[in-house]
């Protein structure tokens, strides 16, 4: 896998490399949404991790946990971000914890 893409999931890597037109359009939209966000980058990353956990999208967790850690997010903040959705999304969010903690500890 390309060094610049080594932290993304296999499925997202395939999207980026096999659908360049679509992925370019997607990434432009993502950048636009990022630029429009009023949250600081750390809070935005923690919120994104919470959404991924609530939606049970484990494949994106390692990339975003590593990005959060690089921003200075603690291991306990990762746990709290995942569990913040517990009342609304139910205990399914706990299924993301092992993936998130493994990604956090791997650095």
Assess whether pLDDT exceeds 70 at residue 5: no
Residue ranges making up the domain that contains 1: 1-36
What's the CATH code of the domain at 98?
1.20.1290.10
Q: Say how many domains are in the chain.
A: 2
User: Tens digit of pLDDT for each residue in 16-31?
Assistant: 999 999 999 999 999 9
Q: What pTM does this model have?
A: 0.85
Same-domain pairing of 94 and 50: yes
Same-domain pairing of 43 and 19: no
Q: If 0-12 CB within 10 Å is exposed, 13-18 middle and 19+ buried, where does residue 88 land?
A: exposed
Q: If you search the block for the tokens 């990604």, which residue do you land on?
A: 103
Q: If 0-12 CB within 10 Å is exposed, 13-18 middle and 19+ buried, where does residue 106 land?
A: exposed
Same-domain pairing of 30 and 65: no
User: Tens digit of pLDDT for each residue in 21-72?
Assistant: 999 999 999 999 999 999 999 999 999 999 999 999 999 999 999 999 999 9
User: Tens digit of pLDDT for each residue in 71-84?
Assistant: 999 999 999 999 99
Same-domain pairing of 27 and 1: yes
């Amino acid at each position: 896998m390309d060094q610049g893409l080594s932290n993304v999931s296999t499925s997202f890597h395939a999207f980026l490399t096999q659908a360049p037109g679509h992925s370019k359009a997607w990434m432009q939209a993502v950048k636009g949404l990022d630029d429009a966000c009023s949250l600081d980058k750390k809070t935005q990353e923690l919120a994104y991790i919470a959404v991924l956990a609530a939606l049970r999208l484990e494949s994106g967790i390692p990339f975003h946990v590593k990005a959060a850690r690089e921003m200075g997010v603690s291991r306990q903040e990762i746990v709290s971000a995942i569990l913040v959705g517990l009342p609304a999304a139910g205990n399914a969010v706990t299924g993301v914890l092992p993936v998130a903690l493994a990604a956090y500890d791997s650095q």
